[in-house]
Amino acid sequence: MNPGSIDEGEFSRSTFCERRMTCAVAGAVAALALLLNACTGGSAAKPSVTGANAVSPTATATLAPPAVSPEAAAPSAAGSAGVAPVFAAPRPSAATPAPATPAATPAAGKRRRPVAADAQQVVLDFRRRGIPLGQTVSLTAADDPDQLLGQVGGYTSKTVFADSRLDDGSASPSVQSGGAVEFFASQRDAQRRFTQLLAAQKGAGQPEQLFHDGDVVLRLSPRLKADQVSEYEISARLALAGR
């Protein structure tokens, strides 16, 4: 036998031993894999899928369902026969603005006249309103028969007049022939004078017809009729109101 040659029997036995070792190792590996799988409860990681259709578990869990508009969700009128269509809420349309209402123009009020500031202005207003007056006289402190003009608590001006409907207007201006206007500095003074005149006429046969408003005391002839007295009273109120 050649020293450098290998016996066929020895080669066969060597190959057989290598195969047995390989099988034993493979069996041990398989047993170890089964043991690991049993210990982990079969939670071994699944092989990942590569390619265009690969979806990660995280991405799958976080995907939200696609939004569906009310128009798309409502079935079409041309859909299933015999099923009433569900109408979507109408879309809001642009509202047509209402026509602007023109601002109301305030009515122009009547122009106010100057408020009477003395007895003469009140008497002039009587004439302007159509009361038929005769002669008129504005008294002074020297010719005032009652001597109250310019006194403390007395009137600041006094005008007497004649009414043309009495004595044909030919009589001199006086309370008996028409009347008198006494103008005071305050309503309190006028009210006091009015009260004094009323008290002085108690029991008189023909008392004066008295009227008081604001700063004015109006003394009228007892011969004037009721409607004529009303004309004087109304005119005096308007003169004091600047109308």
In a domain, 190, yes or no: yes
The C-alpha atoms of residue 222 and residue 122 are separated, in whole angstroms, by 20
Q: Three-class SS of residue 234?
A: helix
Length of the chain in residues, anyone? Answer: 243
Which tokens go with 231?
Answer: 């004309």
At 92 the pLDDT is 54
In a domain, 108, yes or no: no
In a domain, 109, yes or no: no
Domain count, the chain: 1
In a domain, 96, yes or no: no
Contact 159, 127 (CB under 8 A): no
pLDDT digits (tens, 9 = 90+) for 143-198: 999 999 999 999 999 999 999 999 876 789 999 999 999 999 999 999 999 999 99
Q: 214 is in which domain, residue-wise?
A: 119-241
Q: Tell me which residues of the chain have a pLDDT lower than 70.
A: 1-25, 35, 37-113, 169
In a domain, 72, yes or no: no
Q: Three-class SS of residue 120?
A: helix
The C-alpha atoms of residue 46 and residue 235 are separated, in whole angstroms, by 114
At 79 the pLDDT is 45
In a domain, 182, yes or no: yes
Angle between helices 119-128 and 226-241 (to 10 degrees): 120
In a domain, 162, yes or no: yes
> Helix %, strand %, coil % for the chain, to 5?
35, 15, 50
At 30 the pLDDT is 73
At 70 the pLDDT is 46
At 84 the pLDDT is 47
pTM of the model: 0.55
In a domain, 187, yes or no: yes
